[in-house]
Amino acid sequence: MTATVFTNARIVDPSRDLDETGTVIVANGKIQAAGADARNQGAPDGAEIIDCAGKLIVPGLVDSRVFIGEPGAEHRETIASASHAAAAGGVTSIIMMPDTDPVIDDPALVEFVLRAARDTAVVNVHPAAAVTKALAGREMTEFGLLRQSGAVAFTEGRRTIANPVTVRRALTYARDFGALIALETQDADLAAGGVMNEGLYASWLGLPGIPREAEVIPLERDLRLARLTGGSYHAAKISTAISAEAVGRAKNDGASVTAGVSINHLALNEIDVGEYRTFFRLSPPLRAEEDRLAMVQALRDGTIDIISSSHDPQDVDTKRLPFADAATGAIGLETLLAVSLRLHHNGDVPLMRLIEALSTAPARLFGLPGGTLAPGAPADLALVDPGYPWIVQEADIRSRSKNTCFEGARLQGKVLQTMVAGRTVFQA
């Protein structure tokens, strides 16, 4: 395999708390060295030398929440198309949600995904398996066998498990296998019929609201069950200030819990829905500006551990409808890093913390090999021009679906090159 040497790069590697100008040497698919001290190690024979001119090199992003249409809805997204979108966004590992058709609740499906990924994907694709069979919220799936076949975590995807006994058993049983349970929470009855954040904006639009309590009540339940069982629980997509408080309390009490937030809930709020723009219909719904600010604060102080894209491709047939009839979800793989960099550019979150939440922390949490530029690690990295201004345009989107919340948005920061295991999978 060829070798590559990136010289004159600003290297930000949260796994070693390293932010310095230096050289990254990639050989045989692995990081040979990365840092100021790599400058005088010399280049491997025949290495391609890339002068980064001070641009940024970070460990490739690890996106823990990616919905893909394969199997079952390949017209929205395939594993291959999602992987190309990921590569263009500097994302080198994705964790794929199990709400496909059929549901990933059986080792054979995990193997199918891994095979399809091996044959067609350009980034690392890790399936997460369902917590319950067919995502029906009743019988547990085979955590042991699923893990053995390659499932990296267990989640119900978009669904919330209604029965607390099921959550309790899953957390208890998963503990024996060292498996992580990652759940979104939304009480089906409190949220029934709701399509956007409850409040003044929904009231003026005449849209039924979803109260914050619909998220935090089942979340509090799960956090208590995590404490009770000692199982590892990840609150996958919190959106409200009171949810962040609940997670913070559980962490202080010593529970084995972590939290994630989607980039949409860090960057947008309910006002972005505007005049019924269905691309902004998300689950959980975009909340008030106070909630968004609380998400940013919780990310900065570590209450929230990781950021995901919550990439959710939807087609015109599910989005070109009246707001209340449209599906939830937005794509996000390609814009994840650039939108996150907004928080760095405006001084809300330090760059090191951002990259940690986008790469190092999710890799660690889900037990994946990436998220670091330490010598010996797989050479999963992104070369980024953090100041490059660009405008998101539908025509440039690689994802099969175009339902982005950032169409026409002016972003600052562009991925120039993405490498997975030393192989360049994207070049701007």
Partner 1 sequence: MSHTATFPLFPHRHLLGIQGLSAEDIELLLDRADAAVAISRQPEKKTGTLRGRTQINLFYEASTRTQSSFELAGKRMGADVMNMAVGSSSVKKGETLIDTAMTLNAMRPDILIIRHASAGAAALLAQKVGCSVVNAGDGAHEHPTQALLDALTIRRARGPLGKLTVAICGDVLHSRVARSNIVLLNALGARVRVVGPSTLMPAGIERMGVQPFTSMKDGLKGADVVMMLRLQRERMAGAFVPSVREYFRYYGLDAEKLKLAKDDALVMHPGPMNRGVEIASEIADGPQSVIEEQVEMGVAVRMAVMEALLDPRRNAEAAQ
Q: Using CB under 8 A as the criterion, which residues of the chain lie in contact with partner 1 when the complex forms?
A: 198-200, 202-209, 211, 275-276, 317, 320-325
Q: Which is nearer to partner 1, 148 or 203 (CB)?
A: 203
Q: Cα torsion at 328, 126, 94, 316 (round to 10°)?
A: -30
Cis peptide before 284, with omega less than 30 degrees from 0? Answer: yes
CA distance 288 to 269: 5
Asked if 66 contacts 306 with a C-beta cutoff of 8 angstroms, the reply is no
Give least dist CB 330 to partner 1, A: 18
Q: What separation, in Å, do the N-terminal and C-terminal C-alpha atoms of the chain show?
A: 22
Q: Which helix (H) or strand (E) holds 79?
A: helix 79-88
Q: Which is nearer to partner 1, 136 or 324 (CB)?
A: 324
Q: Which is nearer to partner 1, 212 or 237 (CB)?
A: 212
Q: Which is nearer to partner 1, 46 or 206 (CB)?
A: 206
Residue position matching structure tokens 């980064």: 52
Q: Which is nearer to partner 1, 97 or 196 (CB)?
A: 196
Give least dist CB 194 to partner 1, A: 11
Give least dist CB 327 to partner 1, A: 13
Asked if 5 contacts 49 with a C-beta cutoff of 8 angstroms, the reply is yes
Q: Which is nearer to partner 1, 185 or 197 (CB)?
A: 197
The pair of three-digit structure tokens given for residue 424, joined into one six-digit string:
């360049």
Give least dist CB 241 to partner 1, A: 16
Give least dist CB 71 to partner 1, A: 24
What are the CA-CA distances from residue 331 to residues 165, 405, 407 (Å)? Answer: 33, 8, 11
Q: Return the CA Rg of the chain.
A: 21
| Total Cβ atoms within 10 A of residue 9 | 26
Give least dist CB 396 to partner 1, A: 23
